[in-house]
Amino acid sequence: MSYEADLLLVNGSPLSDVGTLTNIATVMVNGRWADIALQAAQSAAERLTLGQP
């Protein structure tokens, strides 16, 4: 399963710690802030953290 976003805001700097990419603050999809997309992105991040596809 894959997801697409226009903008992904994370808590922290992925330049200094790539792990911050799993700490999603909010997501913009099709020019709108999307709570549903945020939930999906957080779920995907959790699966990546657990090593699941």
Domain ranges of the chain: 7-49
End-to-end CA distance of the chain: 8
Instruction: State residue 16's pLDDT score.
Output: 95
8-state DSSP, 1: -
Which residues in the chain come in under a pLDDT of 70? Answer: 1-2, 36-38, 52-53
Residues 45/20, Cβ–Cβ less than 8 Å: no
The answer, as to whether pTM is greater than 0.75, is: no
Cβ burial of 35 (10 Å; 0-12, 13-18, 19+) is exposed
Residue-level pLDDT at 32: 83
> According to the model, what pLDDT value does residue 36 have?
65
